[in-house]
Amino acid sequence: MADCIFCKIASGEINSKVVYEDEDTLAFLDLNPQAPTHVLIIPRRHIDRLSTAADSDAELLGKLQLAAVKIAKRLNVESGFRLVTNNGKAAGQAVDHIHYHLLAGRKMLWPPG
């Protein structure tokens, strides 16, 4: 997607602080962290949001979640972290390239605001 900021991060056109990458996945620090650890995990391939993913994306979506576990271990937060995706504007999605927020390092409230 030509004007997608996360596609530009995935291609290296826009800089980010990468904490994990593999052939399908990239994870980088959120610019505006909401917790001591706040990482965004994206597929390199553009998908707008979870609700626009296809059955054929199942393996990729699974890889994103398993990447989160690797990142949590790498950042020493595997004992307690939150993995969130905001699906659609009403849920707070600002960037239309599917991403999971990995949040950790503070007490997480429930229900989330």
- Residues contributing to the site for ligand AMP (CB under 6 A): 5, 14, 16, 30-32, 40, 86, 92-95
In whole angstroms, how close is the CB of 99 to ligand AMP at the nearest point?
6
Closer residue to ligand AMP (CB): 31 or 55: 31
Binder among 19, 27, 49, 97 for Zn ion (CB under 5 A)? 97
Q: What is the DSSP letter of 42?
A: E
Closer residue to ligand AMP (CB): 17 or 79: 17
Query: If you search the block for the tokens 């993913």, which residue do you land on?
Result: 53
Nearest CA to 66 out of 7, 24, 14 is that of 24
109 Cα distance to chain centroid: 20
List all residues 6 or more positions away from 108 whose beta carbon is below 8 Å from its beta carbon.
Answer: 35, 80, 82
In whole angstroms, how close is the CB of 61 to ligand AMP at the nearest point?
16
Closer residue to Zn ion (CB): 6 or 100: 6
